[in-house]
Structure 1
Amino acid sequence: MRIFKTRAARAITAAVAVGLIATGCASERDSDNESGGAKDTFVFAGAGDPGSLDPALASDGETFRVTRQAFEALLEHEPGGTKLVGGLAETWSSNDAGTVWTFNLRKGVKFHDGEAFNAAAVCANYDHWFNWKGTYQSSAVSYYWQTVMGGFAKNEDPETPEANYKSCTAKDENTAVIEVKKPTANLPGGFSLNALAIHSPKALKEYEKQDATAKGDAITYPKYSQEAGTVAGTGPYKIVKWNKGNKEVTLERFDDYWGEKAKIKNLVFRTIDTEEGRRQALQAGDIDGYDLVAPADVKTLENEGYVVPTRGVFNLFYVGMSQSANPALKKKEVRQAIAQSIDKENLVKTQLPEGGKVADQFMPDTIAGYSKNVTQYPYDPAKAKQLLKKAGAQNLTIEFCYPTEVTRPYMPAPQDLFELMKADLEKSGIKVVPKAMKWAPDYLDATEAGSCALHMLGWTGDFNDGYNFIGTWFAGFDKQWGFRDKKVFDAVNAGSKLGKAEERTAAYQKANEVIMDYLPGVPISSSPPAIAFAKNVNPPKVSPLTQEIFAEASFK
């Protein structure tokens, strides 16, 4: 029996991925000080809009930065770190096989709608996700459920993975037992995902009255997830307004929160989709902080007295290839040619912050499982042309999708990165057809569905295990990549079944070598993203997982 204990008094929580943002209007900000009182609104700007107010329907950091403030999972990560600690569960344990997980829950916790949190609420959530039907079973909608727990009570698509979730039992009011069919490296880390945060059972009943729908690659999300009023979590803030016209989400302190109350009453996230726009808004005093600082702006802001902490390296930027979108990519020589056409060194040197690194596999070198023995694909346009000729693809034309209205921790300026890579590919004789798409939900849905032959994406780790990187993409058939290769799938899954850390690390190293020999896509870089705050702000602890909790923030 393995037992895990949390710190005795946990004030705040965190959960996964990275972020979104917003800002208050001038009248709100002016009212903070009109009588000489303390400011009661904190405004933070990010790079893109959220896709949903229900984190279970999301897979992107823009959404999770907002929902993380309002929803809590069974487990969390310690503020500023990657160590798992208790969230809504004070302590947790598993059987030796890792298939039965017991959670001893916090007492006296309330949901935003006044409902009481208990073991029955935990099981209501897990059973709600397990019984999703229709469009909810799309990997674009239920990505994290499928990643951690597999499929559903009744899969409607043969491509949907087999369900690994077995049951949830409320052993008593404060003890929940979750059982899975097979051990997986995604647990216990998966229990910390904001996508698996716990909602009020009363809210769940309202959710179940509405459906998500799909037309082609376009997903229409249920109404409750697109406007404030129905969703209800247990976090230090509750969501009270989503003004899509002004690209703002407003949250208000939850005074019945079980832990330490938020230090600032109102929290506003505003989307400002350019690096320059975010910097100028901070310098003008219109916002109190922003994420994804342009590399060239870090020193400038520091010299002006702003607080600009840099997170640790815990991400990967890559060019994905969808073999289903363009059959030419089924030929290994074509994939190799694309890899050897991209000048990664130049991208890192000109586009990433100080500390950025060239990637040669699908995890950063800060993760256990990184291998020093993977196949290398150095920049070599002449070799790329030879490979294309060998494949009979000298006249290759390929669509390359890239996102707009967004900046990501691994991808500071998407269009600039795209233009450089487009020029690189054209030097090798590849004709590139650009396709720009709005980040959320268009680009995310299209890439998840495998509609883009080439696309730019990345990953910030959800928790500290190598499988959270390579298992995210290559544990089985994934529409984003559109390939089937048993050798790759078996190598990736081998590590997920091992209990000892050193055995898992060795298995992940071998898997990285197999992946890079097959070459499903091109890993480009890893980088340490910076986040900036106004001079009068005591910022929250910055997280390598980009899981900042804004209830920790205060004004000086």
Structure 2
Amino acid sequence: MTSICKGFNRAALALAVALVIPAVQAKTLVYCSEGSPENFTPALNTTGTSFDAARPVYDKLTQFTRGSTQVEPALAESWTVSPDGKVFTFKLRKGVKFHSGINGFKPTRDFNADDVLFSFERQWKADHPYAKISGGKYDYFADMGLPDDLQTIEKVDPLTVKITLKRANVTMLANLAMDFASIHSAEYADMLAKANKKEQFDQQPVGTGPFSFVMYQKDAVIRYKANKDFWGAAGEKALVDDLVFAITPDPTARYSKLKAGECHFVIAPRPADLPEMQKDASLKLINQPGLNIAYWAFNTQKPPFDKKEVRQALSMAIDKAAIIKDVYLGAGQAAKNLIPPTLWSYNDTVKDYAFDAAKAKDLLAKAGVKTPLEIDLWYMPVQRPYNPNAKRIAEMMQADLAKVGVNAKLVTYEWGEYRKRMQQGEHITGMLGWTGDNGDPDNFFFLRGCDAARPGGQNLSKWCNKEFDGRLEKARTIADVKERTKLYQEMQVIEHDDAPDMKIAHSVVYEVMRKEVNGYKQSPFGSHQFNGVELK
């Protein structure tokens, strides 16, 4: 991605940064973020890095109460759901103002139903004027089955929208609080279309959120300013004048900047740095069990990983306990299911594959695999909340695999490219992970659903099991938690036995900030919000 501020030279950038760094300036909050966003339209993205960068700008119809999994009204001030669970009618909030754009856009009207229809129809309808802009891939929308489940989205009146589904979906209100459901300005889109500048829409964002976008220099800085017209409650408004993302991929560099006062907040500290952080009176270290999973996916469409015995064998070949001890340093627990044990419907009766190199070798031989077997092992180039050091884990796996006759070539790419290539299925095996978006087990299990196994989908094992998928689809139509729990527990057994991936760990998520930061609430979804946060 090139800079989206044409004519914004390096001298001007240096001046802009100098105005906001060091972070001790009273009304500027600086977040040392871990990477660059792919763009600023959440519907096009799947990474927490990109969602974090867009989140200050946008609102959704529903939202999660900051720091919790509770769904609450946002741009929709109320809603009703039909008895059959198929029709959702939203009453929209009156008087909500859109930001002005950095390219001269000035809104002439308030938020209304046209903006809702634009935002969803772009993802849903192939003939939408913005459908193909910026690549036109809406992976969240597609992987969750919405292209098939949606029947109509109707504007009842300027402040009422009705969404009708072909089948009931009890996760719908929580899904609409996820980032892919962010609401954009249809008027802004029209202005850019008339100027033949549609590509600016996803690079120079306009929303209704607590902060408005100011500028972005790739791999360097994103700057936002407080939206004085934000509709939210006083405690949820922007409580600082400026918000800056200082893009700093290296965790050691982030920590150094934090100690020097060059940033106020960082995520994903190195486990080895935690004891020192805890002793520093100028810092506040917070943590909570992560709603997450780190996994190693086997591409089931590529031999010999089309055989479950091979996938089971490699699951047995890895010393998971050593990874937890040496890489997570006590900030994680071994995983055996896709969902973490803190989430309802977790099936604790599932037995993890034991570390057994001899049995792994025997299984490979029985599956007809001749050794040495040459594979690739992809690892993430960035630190994630669920995986503190993917390269180190890959090196440990590589050593374990060599002992059973498997030679693993380690592969990585730039973060956005890595995700794109894995979603296309270029890998043989590869590491990734997930942090839940909405507190519902469906939000994890869809990662192994057949919809998400398509090229570009988020099912990185490219595994489609009809028994698993049938239960996944059925559970979405059932309101009864006991019935859903039974289906989800059966799905965990099916997935374990077929072994499309090896579960590595559920991590404890640590975040650290300077002591002058007040009002920040750690999200169970691993997202980062800075409205309602002040400096004292």
Is TM > 0.5 for Structure 1 vs Structure 2? yes
Which residue of 394, 410, 413 corresponds with 1:434? Answer: 410
Q: Answer yes or no: is the 8 Å Cα contact 1:26–1:286 preserved in 2.
A: no
Which residue of 118, 122, 135 corresponds with 1:124? Answer: 118
Equivalents in 2 of 1:346, 1:543: separation in Å? 29
Letter in 2 for 1:414: A
Identity %: 28
Equivalents in 2 of 1:376, 1:382: separation in Å? 17
Which residue of 312, 317, 328 corresponds with 2:289? Answer: 312
Report how far residue 317 of structure 1 moved.
0.6
2:453 partner SS:
coil
* Paired residue total: 505
Matches within 5 A, 1:234-383: 234-244=208-218, 246-259=219-232, 260=234, 261-305=237-281, 306-324=283-301, 326-352=302-328, 354-383=330-359
Q: Answer yes or no: is the 8 Å Cα contact 2:20–2:244 preserved in 1.
A: no
Partner of 1:66: 53
Matches within 5 A, 1:421-460: 421-440=397-416, 442-460=417-435
Partner of 1:3: none
Q: Residues 450, 185 of structure 1: CA spacing in aligned structure 2 closer, same or farther, 3 A cutoff?
A: farther
Report how far residue 183 of structure 1 moved.
1.6
Q: Deviations over 1:392-438 (max 9, x none)?
A: 2132211111221x211101112112111111212221110121111
Equivalents in 2 of 1:235, 1:138: separation in Å? 22
Q: Deviations over 1:250-272 (max 9, x none)?
A: 11111111123311111111221
Equivalents in 2 of 1:173, 1:135: separation in Å? 23
Letter in 1 for 2:426: S
For the aligned residues, what is the CA RMSD?
A: 2.6
Equivalents in 2 of 1:112, 1:25: separation in Å? 22
Which residue of 510, 517, 528 corresponds with 1:537? Answer: 517
Q: Answer yes or no: is the 8 Å Cα contact 2:300–2:307 preserved in 1.
A: no
Q: Deviations over 1:78-128 (max 9, x none)?
A: 111111111111222211222111112211101113341112221222222
Letter in 2 for 1:78: T
Q: Answer yes or no: is the 8 Å Cα contact 2:211–2:225 preserved in 1.
A: yes
- The reply on whether 1:100 has 2:104 as its aligned counterpart is no
Q: Deviations over 1:279-321 (max 9, x none)?
A: 1111122111111111122221121120111133200110111
Report how far residue 536 of structure 1 moved.
2.1
Equivalents in 2 of 1:33, 1:355: separation in Å? 32
Q: Residues 38, 431 of structure 1: CA spacing in aligned structure 2 closer, same or farther, 3 A cutoff?
A: closer
Q: Answer yes or no: is the 8 Å Cα contact 2:319–2:355 preserved in 1.
A: yes
TM-score by length of 1: 0.85
- The reply on whether 1:390 has 2:366 as its aligned counterpart is yes
Equivalents in 2 of 1:138, 1:286: separation in Å? 34
Report how far residue 139 of structure 1 moved.
10
User: Unaligned stretches of 5+ in structure 1?
Assistant: 1-23, 152-162, 213-221
Equivalents in 1 of 2:209, 2:74: separation in Å? 10
Q: Deviations over 1:191-225 (max 9, x none)?
A: 1111111000123336768999xxxxxxxxx8426
Partner of 2:387: 411
Equivalents in 2 of 1:347, 1:332: separation in Å? 24
Q: Answer yes or no: is the 8 Å Cα contact 1:32–1:39 preserved in 2.
A: no
Equivalents in 1 of 2:64, 2:472: separation in Å? 25
- The reply on whether 1:145 has 2:145 as its aligned counterpart is no
Q: Answer yes or no: is the 8 Å Cα contact 1:385–1:394 preserved in 2.
A: no
Q: Answer yes or no: is the 8 Å Cα contact 2:211–2:238 preserved in 1.
A: yes
Q: Residues 530, 126 of structure 1: CA spacing in aligned structure 2 closer, same or farther, 3 A cutoff?
A: same
Which residue of 72, 89, 97 corresponds with 1:85? Answer: 72
Report how far residue 354 of structure 1 moved.
3.6
Q: Answer yes or no: is the 8 Å Cα contact 1:79–1:548 preserved in 2.
A: no
Q: Residues 227, 169 of structure 1: CA spacing in aligned structure 2 closer, same or farther, 3 A cutoff?
A: closer
Q: Deviations over 1:361-391 (max 9, x none)?
A: 1111111111122253111111111111111
Report how far residue 32 of structure 1 moved.
6.0
Q: Deviations over 1:459-481 (max 9, x none)?
A: 10011111111123224460432
Q: Answer yes or no: is the 8 Å Cα contact 2:294–2:506 preserved in 1.
A: yes
Equivalents in 1 of 2:473, 2:74: separation in Å? 28
Of the structure 1 ranges 130-139 and 311-320, higher mean CA displacement relative to structure 2 is found in 130-139
Report how far residue 136 of structure 1 moved.
4.7
Equivalents in 2 of 1:484, 1:494: separation in Å? 16
Q: Residues 179, 391 of structure 1: CA spacing in aligned structure 2 closer, same or farther, 3 A cutoff?
A: same
Report how far residue 485 of structure 1 moved.
2.6
- The reply on whether 1:520 has 2:507 as its aligned counterpart is no
Q: Answer yes or no: is the 8 Å Cα contact 1:52–1:63 preserved in 2.
A: yes
2:309 partner SS:
helix
Report how far residue 525 of structure 1 moved.
0.7
Q: Answer yes or no: is the 8 Å Cα contact 2:144–2:451 preserved in 1.
A: no
Q: Residues 135, 177 of structure 1: CA spacing in aligned structure 2 closer, same or farther, 3 A cutoff?
A: closer
Q: Residues 292, 549 of structure 1: CA spacing in aligned structure 2 closer, same or farther, 3 A cutoff?
A: same
Matches within 5 A, 1:48-59: 48-59=35-46
